[in-house]
Chain A
Amino acid sequence: MQILELSRQTVEDFLFLEAELIDSQRFEEWHALFTPDGRYFVPLTDNEDTVHQAAIVNDDPLRLEERVYHLARVPFPSQSPRSRTLHLVTNVRIRPSGEGPGNTMTVVSNQLIVEMRVGDFRQVGLGEQRSFAAEVEHQLQPQGDALKIAMKTVRLLNRGGPVSNLTFLL
């Protein structure tokens, strides 16, 4: 596969697939979309510095593995009951080649991630729809016939503000 020849439709199909895997809670299949050195990054600050700034998520490959293991295999209070999510993916833009490193393509989309925890909806925090708007950047690489994610960055609109429980996948 030649990365430079990919149409927006191919790229969109890929983003839709990724969203579907998250929304149907197929976390390990989602993980498999990443390259072996793939990263998942949700910055807290505008400058996206990781030397002196803490991030919301700053996953190198091992931390990403840990996150997926945690979500898929270890029940924990803030995901008991679990979040349901629905991703709306729109405004897909393919950045001119040369902006990303090597054989990668940078794709930016606007996403609205709607989240709700199931369970007894009379209880605080359950049955309540919350929405998170974000600019999402994917660095995509071809691997054989498939596309893989080398880096996913989620720039939340409300980064830095008060936000609780983002323990689901964005």
Chain B
Amino acid sequence: MASSKSPIQGVGSGGDPQELVLRGPHTFRVHTRAYSDPAIFDLEMERIFGRTWVYVGHESEIPQPGNYKTAHIGLQPVIVARDDKGGINVFYNRCRHRGSVVCREPRGFANNFRCPYHGWIYGKDGRLLGVSMRDGYPSDFQQPEGLQKVPCVDSYRGLIFARAVAEGPSLVEQLGLAATWIDRRVNMSPVGEIELVAEPYVVEYRGNWKFMIENIIDEYHFAFVHEPFNKLQERYGDSTGDYGAHVSGSAKDMNQRRQAGRLSWGGVGGHGLGERRVSDEQLDSLLAGEDGDYYQGLLEKYRREELARMVGGGSVMTHPNVGMIHRQIRVVRPLAVDRTEVTIYPYELKGAPEADNQGWLRSQERFYGPAGYGMPDDVEMFALNQQGLAAQAVDWLILERGLDREQVTENGDRFAPVGGETPLRALWVEWLKLMSRAD
């Protein structure tokens, strides 16, 4: 292989992230330390989660003024809350007095937030409304304005993002091509909205957070990690409620259908995108099927080719912490260099047939829950990955699959036949960009 000519060798013990990703015409390798060094993790919290747009929640979780939910930007706890004017604010979940957490519930309704420690009171918009025993403070006491706000908040199609620094690209700019993928998923609703109705699954694993974000758009692990699931699909197909989420049939059939109409994209901004489309026959049978009215309604709004892609339902992993796959929003929260929390929020398509929303919910229940036939096997891999990296004598991980088959669009987005590691490389290119900026 051509990459054997590349100067692949160990890196120094210095903290320079540039040394941790090795790129050449036929080379793309990531150093062990990028996944296992606590100093690198700290730097990620500062330079990635501290600087870029991070997903913090969905608008449907906080529909009314006074609704709030808690979230994290990297390791930092925040509250996402709807104010009286309907605006969304994100503030740090930390009392301005002496630092206690202000909000203890994962979501709910509050007229105001009262700190449990000494009772300071903050409004729905985070403004400080009351300081307990105010008379005890000096007359020139410099009272904070309120809970400290995260400077930038924006949402795209209901997905709320926040950025801990004021300067930087707009959310839409940052999303780039990923926005199209989000559109395709949300547009499956006749009214263009998704709703997070079900309680999420929460799973913790003992591995680096990047293993999860790489996995969502790793289209070819399926044939290996999920081979046992394929056995179930061969035997049970749709009869136990897969609802067409996964291919079924003979093993050969399944392999073929996993290639057809599929591409792997690496979007500028570090987004991994799986492109899928259903065949014309599949689309026709949906248009003529039980939920034909629903699909016909969509066909009136979107071109046939676009609808084929929407129904195909390609997955999207937007850098750094949120993915959409099947009918779920998946949030990745780093806890430590070798510990990660993943939250899976099944969502419903507003206005879609009840049976469709139900079918998808049952399908995700079968695959993604802690007793499901997919997700537990994935997170098992992440723990194995982390353990394997303890063999630090081996320097590099190889992410070169499909490198020679990649094509680049004029925007700089890359794509390759499905199963190439193009989406993973995009994540690392963005990682490198953010990690290298020292200011």
Contacts and interface: CB of A to CB of B under 8 A. Distances in A.
Nearest to B373: A70
Interface stretch (A73-81, A136-144, A145-153): A73-81
B233 to A, nearest CB: 10
10 contacts: A45-B199, A55-B365, A56-B370, A66-B236, A69-B232, A69-B235, A76-B228, A162-B204, A163-B202, A166-B370
Nearest to B363: A54
A58 B362 contact: yes
A44 B369 contact: yes
A53 B202 contact: no
A157 interface: no
B240 A124 contact: no
Contact of B199 (A51, A70, A75, A160): A160
A62 interface: yes
B201 A44 contact: yes
Best-surrounded residue of B358, B362, B386 (most CB of chain A within 10 A): B362
Interface in B233-285: 235-236, 239-241
Given A164-B204, A165-B379, A123 B365 contact: no
B387 to A, nearest CB: 5
Interface string A10-51: 000000000000000000000000000000001011000001
Given A55-B369, A125-B383, A76 B341 contact: no
Going nearest first, the 5 A-B pairs with the smallest beta carbon separation are: A76-B228, A78-B376, A77-B377, A166-B370, A166-B371
Interface in A112-147: 123-125
B241 A63 contact: yes
A73 to B, nearest CB: 8
B72 interface: no
Interface string B187-231: 000000000011101111110000000000000000001001101
A110 interface: no
Nearest to B228: A76
B380 interface: yes
A152 to B, nearest CB: 13
Best-surrounded residue of A45, A125, A162 (most CB of chain B within 10 A): A162
A52 B348 contact: yes
A75 B380 contact: no
A44 B372 CA distance: 13
A124 B418 CA distance: 32
A77 B202 contact: no
A42 B371 contact: yes
A62 to B, nearest CB: 5
B225 A77 contact: yes
A96 interface: no
Contacts of A42: 371
Interface in A57-99: 57-58, 62-63, 66, 69-70, 74-78
B241 A125 contact: no
A101 interface: no
B347 to A, nearest CB: 11
A62 B239 contact: yes
B272 to A, nearest CB: 22
A162 B236 contact: no
B199 A44 contact: yes
B376 A54 contact: no
A125 to B, nearest CB: 6
B423 to A, nearest CB: 22
Contact of B232 (A56, A57, A70): A70
Nearest to A49: B198
Contacts of B236: 62, 66
B380 A78 contact: yes
Given A56-B371, A58-B362, A76-B377, A124 B383 contact: yes
A55 B376 CA distance: 15
Interface in B350-387: 358, 361-362, 364-366, 368-371, 373, 376-377, 379-381, 383, 386-387
A127 to B, nearest CB: 13
A54 B380 contact: no
A162 B365 CA distance: 16
Contact of B370 (A66, A69, A125, A163): A163
B346 interface: yes
Given A53-B198, A77-B381, A165 B370 contact: yes
Nearest to B346: A54
B61 to A, nearest CB: 14
Contacts of B377: 76-78
Given A52-B198, A58-B365, A162-B202, A125 B371 contact: no
B351 to A, nearest CB: 15
